[in-house]
Amino acid sequence: MAAEVGKKKGVTVKDVKVTPRTTGPNRWSFDVTAKVTKGFASANVTALAKVRLDDDMVVHVEELTAKAGGVIGALAGGIIESVLGRYRNRSIDLKNQSFAGARVTGIDVDLAERFRVTATLGS
């Protein structure tokens, strides 16, 4: 998604790295780093997201921030902020999500070797 938004604004987003961590029961944080380039200039971007999944299968975005350095970083910061603003403090009710006519009836999150979310679907 970041690469698509960047492309529309004339910048290239690459070397994206996401590091998830469990921060409590049904709570996770995600550290994100990326390199943004435009022409010969580049900047490093860092972001932090914190989410919580409640017992009713609603995901709450509790924190969503990003920082970028340099002139290109200032440009990227505006682009990033415009995208993040749509998701900050947002709640997503997973029970209301439909996939091929089926609804989410259960979620399992595993941070062992790889970040994995398993959704159980039903009617």
Q: How many domains is the chain built from?
A: 1
In angstroms, the CA 84 to CA 65 distance is 7
- pLDDT bucket at 87, cuts 50 / 70 / 90: confident
CA distance 59 to 72: 32
Residue 103 lies in a domain: no
Task: Determine the structural domain holding residue 89 and report its residue range.
Answer: 2-94
Is residue 108 assigned to a domain?
Answer: no
Residue 8 has pLDDT above 70, yes or no: no
106 occurs within a structural domain? no
Q: What's the whole-model pTM score?
A: 0.76
Structure tokens at 107: 């979620």
Q: pLDDT tens digits for 16-67? A: 898 999 999 999 999 999 888 877 878 888 889 999 999 999 999 999 988 8
Does residue 44 lie in a domain region? yes
51 CB contacts (<8 Å, ≥6 apart)? 27, 28, 29, 30, 59, 60, 61, 62
Burial class (CB in 10 A: 0-12, 13-18, 19+), 79: buried
pLDDT per residue as tens digits for the range 93-119: 998 888 888 888 888 888 877 788 888
Evaluate whether residue 77 is within a structural domain: yes
